[in-house]
């Protein structure tokens, strides 16, 4: 990922326009709304992703429940979008997989992804081989004996 030369290399928050406005005067500091100075399309995509993740992931659902009473739903979603951007940036810069999901969940996602592809798109691999291949590329899931989302079943299948 390559940012323009004027973008801050440490964080893409300013580039996306998700940073807060800061008003300083003497000893008083107030923060306001987001700057919206960056890429609108990136901001929109992150807010959409935040709306999806709060309905599907328990961690982000709890984060929304924590922020919503104080900020309101829309501002809480924007705050979560900013956290997601920082998380994605961290994963890309460290070149390490996101460790917030269990190996079973990642394997299940690869398996469901393989069901949407034909054999040619999977390079001749079966659906299970496709999921195993990408798990190996990530360096995870060596101890999985089967791919299932059912947490009780998949946790007991580990050896």
What confidence score (pLDDT) does residue 157 get? Answer: 40
What confidence score (pLDDT) does residue 2 get? Answer: 56
**pLDDT tens by residue, the chain, 159 residues:** 454 554 445 567 777 777 776 777 888 777 667 767 777 888 899 999 999 999 988 889 999 999 999 999 998 999 999 889 888 888 777 777 677 777 888 888 888 889 999 889 989 999 889 988 988 888 888 888 877 665 544 443 443
Per-position DSSP letters for 100-157, written without gaps between them: SS-HHHHHHHHHHHHHTS-TTTTTT--HHHHHHHHHHHHT--TT-SS--S-HHHHHHT
């Amino acid at each position: 990922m390559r940012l323009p030369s004027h973008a801050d290399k440490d964080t893409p928050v300013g580039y996306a326009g998700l940073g807060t406005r800061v008003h300083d005067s003497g000893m008083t500091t107030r923060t306001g709304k987001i700057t919206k100075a960056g890429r609108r399309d990136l901001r929109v995509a992150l807010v959409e992703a935040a709306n999806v993740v709060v309905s599907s992931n328990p961690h982000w659902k709890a984060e929304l429940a924590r922020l919503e009473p104080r900020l309101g739903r829309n501002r809480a979603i924007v705050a979560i979008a900013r956290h997601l951007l920082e998380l994605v940036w961290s994963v890309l810069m460290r070149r390490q997989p996101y460790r917030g999901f269990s190996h079973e969940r990642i394997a299940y996602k690869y398996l469901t992804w393989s069901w949407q592809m034909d054999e040619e798109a999977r390079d001749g691999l079966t659906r299970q081989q496709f999921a195993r291949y990408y798990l190996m590329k990530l360096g995870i899931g060596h101890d999985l004996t089967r791919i299932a989302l059912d947490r009780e079943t998949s946790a007991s299948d580990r050896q």
